[in-house]
């Protein structure tokens, strides 16, 4: 059976890797829609190669330019623009599978639409669960969607859980999960040196090739904190049963502990095409273009506990998870604002966790019943974060 896909975030690292896997299996997959923000040069090339029926960009100015280029090249792709078009592509009747890879809060509405439409969702946008965990999981259930994680850690956990696992750790003999973390580029950097960290240094991840925002999140270890929140909702496991383990080689992608003493892990080279291929073909297996792991070449694996004092963002994420309801949405919003301002060189690297902590202190926790509640909590936290940043100038 040919799978038909909408790719939300096709020009980012996950989108490019997804298309690389699809390129290797042209008989299995048909791209129906490609959605990007503003990288129309790359999107233009993708449209020519994969001939989607639809393409979406940020605004109409970019859409006009992309239409002009495609018309000149003989392309037949219909070009749309704006957030509403993203939602339409997520619900597209012709597509049965949606790769949700838009970074940040902007990816939540189309991911939620895909859930309500009952799609097979390959979830690379962790903010959908961080911001709106209870709302999103209710949508998955009511829409009859199938949710498959793309983050290498959560995909590893998915592969290491029992095949019949349905969010029942006690009944399945699951004691807990271990989320591995590389430690990022500053694992050994003294805390007093953080004030001098540049955006270029923060984006230079030692193992993974990622976008700038997620690279900074890895450097602060906020990325791992967001993954803890995501894991709670994906696998219905409480925070006290989710442990972070620093593993610099990024070979063991995560582990599941069982009550009988067993620990199951998924290993592989650090390449996102592996979890993408696993989720695309599940429950089958297909080639991803990734070389098999050579354990003799790896030679040794190392582990250490995370340093919550040097990387306070991780503790802030656990705090938000314990507080629940809108607290994770506020955490995520404050982090997005702080990271963007750091990349713009308006604040320092060490300011990021301080801004997040201050936003959480000043933002009351509210109940989440709908997408509107989530977006209101997000907007309120962003306003507080912007005021804090402005006061630092």
Question: pLDDT tens for residues 334-347?
Answer: 999 999 999 999 99
**Inter-residue contact 97 to 5 (CB < 8 Å):** yes
pLDDT in tens, 84-112: 999 999 999 999 999 999 987 889 999 99
CATH classification number, 3-149, choose in 3.10.180.10, 3.75.10.10, 3.40.50.1440, 3.40.50.720 = 3.40.50.720
| pLDDT value of residue 208 | 62
Residues in the chain: 393
Give the model's confidence band at 125: pLDDT under 50 very low, under 70 low, under 90 confident, else very high.
confident
Q: How far is CA 305 from CA 156, 197, 202, 203, in A?
A: 20, 23, 21, 23
**Inter-residue contact 334 to 319 (CB < 8 Å):** no
pLDDT at 207 over 70: no
Q: Tell me where in the chain the CATH 1.10.1740.10 domain(s) lie.
A: 324-393
Q: How far is CA 108 from CA 86, 140, 213, 294, in A?
A: 10, 13, 16, 38
**Inter-residue contact 99 to 125 (CB < 8 Å):** no
**Dihedral sign, CA of 232, 234, 237, 240?**
negative
Which of 34, 84, 22, 14 shows the shortest CA–CA distance to 272?
14
Per DSSP, what are the bridge partners of residue 180? 245
Which of 349, 343, 356 shows the shortest CA–CA distance to 384?
356
As to burial, measured by CB atoms within 10 angstroms (0-12 exposed, 13-18 middle, 19+ buried), residue 189 is middle
User: What does the block give as tokens for 106?
Assistant: 């902007």
Q: List the Cα angle 266/270/274 in 5-degree steps.
A: 65
Q: Tell me where in the chain the CATH 3.40.50.720 domain(s) lie.
A: 3-149
3-state secondary structure of 258: strand
On the CB side of 66, CA atoms within 13 Å amount to 31
Give the model's confidence band at 126: pLDDT under 50 very low, under 70 low, under 90 confident, else very high.
confident
Secondary-structure class of domain 324-393 per CATH: mainly alpha
pLDDT at 245 over 80: yes
Q: Which residues contact 2 (CB under 8 A, 6 or more apart)?
A: 27, 28, 29, 30
pLDDT in tens, 255-283: 999 999 999 999 999 899 999 999 999 99
């Amino acid at each position: 059976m040919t799978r038909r896909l909408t790719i939300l975030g096709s020009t980012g690292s996950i989108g490019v890797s997804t298309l690389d896997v699809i390129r290797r299996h042209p008989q299995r997959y048909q791209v129906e829609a490609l959605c990007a923000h503003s990288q129309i040069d790359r999107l233009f090339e993708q449209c020519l190669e994969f001939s989607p029926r639809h393409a979406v960009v940020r605004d109409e100015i970019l859409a006009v330019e992309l239409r002009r280029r495609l018309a000149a090249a003989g392309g037949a792709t219909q070009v749309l623009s704006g957030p509403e078009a993203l939602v339409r592509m997520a619900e597209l009747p012709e597509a049965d599978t949606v790769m949700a890879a838009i970074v940040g809060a902007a990816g939540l509405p189309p991911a939620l639409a895909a859930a309500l439409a009952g799609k097979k969702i390959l979830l690379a946008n962790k903010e959908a669960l961080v911001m709106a965990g209870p709302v999103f999981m209710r949508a998955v259930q009511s829409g009859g969607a199938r949710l498959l994680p793309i983050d290498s850690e959560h995909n590893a956990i998915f592969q290491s859980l029992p095949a019949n696992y349905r969010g029942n750790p006690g009944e399945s003999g699951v004691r807990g999960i271990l989320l591995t973390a590389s430690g990022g580029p500053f694992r050994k950097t003294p805390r007093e040196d953080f004030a001098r960290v540049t955006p270029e240094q923060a984006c230079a991840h030692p193992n993974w090739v990622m976008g700038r925002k997620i690279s900074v999140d890895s450097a602060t270890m906020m990325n791992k904190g967001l993954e803890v929140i995501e894991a709670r909702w994906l696998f219905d496991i409480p925070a006290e049963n989710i442990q972070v383990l620093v593993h610099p080689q990024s070979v063991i992608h995560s582990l599941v502990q069982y009550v009988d003493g067993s620990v199951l892990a998924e290993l592989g080279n650090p390449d996102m095409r592996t979890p993408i291929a696993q989720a695309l073909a599940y429950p089958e297996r297909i080639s991803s273009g990734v070389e098999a792991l050579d354990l003799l070449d790896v030679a040794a694996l190392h582990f250490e506990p995370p340093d919550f004092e040097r990387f306070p963002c991780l503790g802030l994420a656990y705090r938000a998870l314990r507080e629940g309801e809108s607290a994770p949405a506020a955490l995520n919003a404050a982090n997005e604002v702080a990271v963007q301002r750091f990349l713009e060189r308006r604040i320092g690297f060490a300011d990021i966790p301080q801004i997040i902590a201050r936003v959480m202190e000043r933002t009351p926790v509210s109940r989440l019943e709908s997408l509107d509640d989530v977006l209101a909590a997000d907007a309120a936290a962003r306003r507080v974060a912007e005021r804090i940043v402005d006061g630092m100038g």
